[in-house]
Structure 1
Amino acid sequence: MVKIITISREFGSGGRTIGREVAKRLGIPCYDKELIEKIADETGYAKSFIEEEGEHAPNSHKLAYMFMGRGLDGLSNADHIWMAEKKVIEELADKESCVIVGRCADYILKDRTDCLNVFVYADTKFKAERIVKLYGESHLNPEKRLADKDKKRKLNYKYFTEREWGRYNNYHMSLDSGFLGINQAVEMIVNAAGGTK
């Protein structure tokens, strides 16, 4: 039986919205921004720092993590955030049924048999229109914003998991939200979860 649902997603694909709606339909909590507060409590870092650093590489260069400053313990800020993130996600999964959005939760919980891992993606046109509608215009064009954000997510995922972000065999379901629509994607996840509680 499925107890935990993880939602990994491309920027602009609606994964966060889908995760929240799935949780609402199933009557269980959704952890997304709420994870940031828990990780901030665990590490003492500012929430704004964790929001950006916890899911994205420091830049979009493939060697982004090589030149990070490290403390006396040999660990970078990113390493400390990762350890806190892992602890918080594992504790939540042990405690209750929930939906967890992002934060490499699919990898962290990969050995659990009660976890449904979902990846949400969409074509560039759908995502570009969505981010402009949700977040407004920026000095970068929408396509560049999408590419930069996802490249940093991909590098972060690879660094901490040694796996390829978005690769189909890391997930139980991969859904094209642009083709299916948000509501149909929610419906498919709820059905696959089989009445999670």
Structure 2
Amino acid sequence: MSNNTVITIGRQYGSAGREIGQLLAKELGINCYDKELLKKAAKESGLCEELFENHDEKPTNSFLYSLVMDTYSLGYSSSAFIDMPLNHKVFLAQFDAIKKIANQESCVIVGRCADYALADYKNCLNVFIHAKLEDRIKRIVEKYNLTEAKAKDLIHKTDKSRSSYYNYYTSKRWGETSSYHLALDSSIVGVEGAVKIIRDYLEYMQKDTPHI
């Protein structure tokens, strides 16, 4: 198993989780994978990139999860994979891409159940970013030029989608503190403050575990 250090970031919509991940990666001199992960998974699996965009962190209510994971080790050319529903193909391809990236380099990975995919990696720091609803609404309004009502609706729908996706594919609960090493309120600590806290925690981990 690789000794690379990987920071995974789960996030509420509008909490600046992606921005925090990008700034953290920049300060650490490593890559940050968000939408880039979709391109990598599409390329390696041979599936159309548009499929990954359409199914990205979307919930599912069909098929059996156990059958999905049983198929994981068989590869993309197996008949079981070929016959599998598209949403499960997308998940498995991303799951595989996350593991490959973690084996190749130290990095930051935003969303997409990365903490679950790397559950056996000792050098993985799992973070969840959340924020007050009013702050998230303000952020989305400014970023996408939406009304407050539309921003609030988008936040609720996106969070519900991410939660359903995460809870279905993992053995944990999205946003539950026990699922992560750190849970940070970006309304209180801000983007730069969150980055500093994560870096400080990472340094503590590295001192406590010399092999990192």
Shorter-chain TM band: 0.7 to 0.9
Unaligned runs of 5+ in 2: 64-78, 207-211
| Secondary structure of the structure 2 residue equivalent to 1:7 | strand
How far residue 139 of structure 1 moved from its aligned partner, in angstroms, is 10
Q: For residues 188 and 50 of structure 1, do their structure 2 counterparts lie closer, same or farther at Cα, with a shift above 3 Å needed?
A: same
The residue that corresponds to 1:35 in the other structure is: 37
Give the helix-richer structure, 1 or 2: 2
The residue that corresponds to 1:11 in the other structure is: 13
- Counterparts of 1:32-181 in structure 2, within 5 Å, are 32-57=34-59, 64-66=60-62, 73=80, 74-137=83-146, 141-181=150-190
Aligned-residue CA RMSD (Å): 2.3
**Matched residues, number:** 188
Unaligned runs of 5+ in 1: 58-63
Instruction: Using the aligned pairs only, state the percent identity.
Output: 39
State the alpha-carbon separation in 1 of the partners of residues 62 and 92 from structure 2.
Answer: 18
Compute the TM-score of the two structures, normalised by the length of structure 1.
0.87
Q: Which amino acid aligns with 1:121?
A: H
Is the contact made by 1:2 and 1:194 (CA closer than 8 Å) also made in structure 2?
Answer: no
State the alpha-carbon separation in 1 of the partners of residues 4 and 123 from structure 2.
Answer: 4
State the alpha-carbon separation in 2 of the partners of residues 38 and 53 from structure 1.
Answer: 15
The residue that corresponds to 1:61 in the other structure is: none
Compute the TM-score of the two structures, normalised by the length of structure 2.
0.81
Q: Which amino acid aligns with 2:29?
A: G
Q: Which structure has the larger Rg?
A: 2
State the alpha-carbon separation in 2 of the partners of residues 51 and 135 from structure 1.
Answer: 19
How far residue 48 of structure 1 moved from its aligned partner, in angstroms, is 3.8
* Higher RCO structure, 1 or 2 (CA under 8 Å, sep 6+): 1
